[in-house]
Amino acid sequence: MPYTAHDAYLESRIESAGPVQLIRLLHQGAVAAVRDARRHLAAGDIAARSRAISKTFDILTELVTSLDRQRGGEIAAQLEQLYDYMQRRLIQANAGQTDEPLAEVLSLLATLSEAWEGVEAQQKPAAMPVAAGPAAGPWAAVAAESGSAAGHAWSF
């Protein structure tokens, strides 16, 4: 395929993104791929459905490999389990040619995307510290840890 203006734009976004923004871009890509898979399933396009499911699977694999288990602790372990669960549901959707697992994965990804959006919003005011305490929830630790791009580019 030829290199397009959209490809250049996406490449620029990736190169200028911070760790949390990169995770959000991966989630956005996974959501788009699941939507494509559902559309192709409804249209009966088996090959395109399989490609879209494979793309989602690969994105989830990248998210798993990017987890910093030392700094992420329990949250990283829970995310790893959730990503693994979603990958198993994708396999079920592909093998069974059914929409229900795809709908579930899409819902889970949407929830995670909202959470990461909140993490990113907490990081925007550079002069303000990340909230701590019970009101901030478990994502406050993620936000606090992901402020630096030192070490692993995707770590949190």
Q: Is residue 41 part of a domain?
A: yes
- The domain that holds 39 is classified in CATH as 1.20.120.340
Q: Is residue 35 part of a domain?
A: yes
Q: Is residue 87 part of a domain?
A: yes
- Cβ atoms 73, 156 nearer than 8 A: no
How many degrees, rounded to 5, is the angle at CA 118 between CA 17 and CA 142? 75
* pLDDT tens digits along 6-27: 556 656 666 665 778 888 889 9
Identity of residue 62? E
Task: Find all residues with CB under 8 Å of 22, minimum gap 6, and list them.
Answer: 14, 153, 154
Q: Which of 2, 5, 38, 15 is nearest to 153 (CA)?
A: 15
Domain holding 25, by residue range, is 17-115+129-143
pLDDT of 144 reads 39
Instruction: Provide the whole-model pTM.
Output: 0.72
Q: Is residue 2 part of a domain?
A: no
Structural tokens at position 150: 């030192």
Q: Is residue 24 part of a domain?
A: yes
How many independent structural domains does the chain possess?
A: 1
Q: Which ranges of the chain would DSSP assign to H, the alpha helix?
A: 5-16, 19-43, 46-65, 69-96, 100-123, 139-145
Taking residues 56-80, report their average pLDDT: 94
Tell me which of 43-47, 105-109, 149-153 is least confident.
149-153
Q: Is residue 156 part of a domain?
A: no
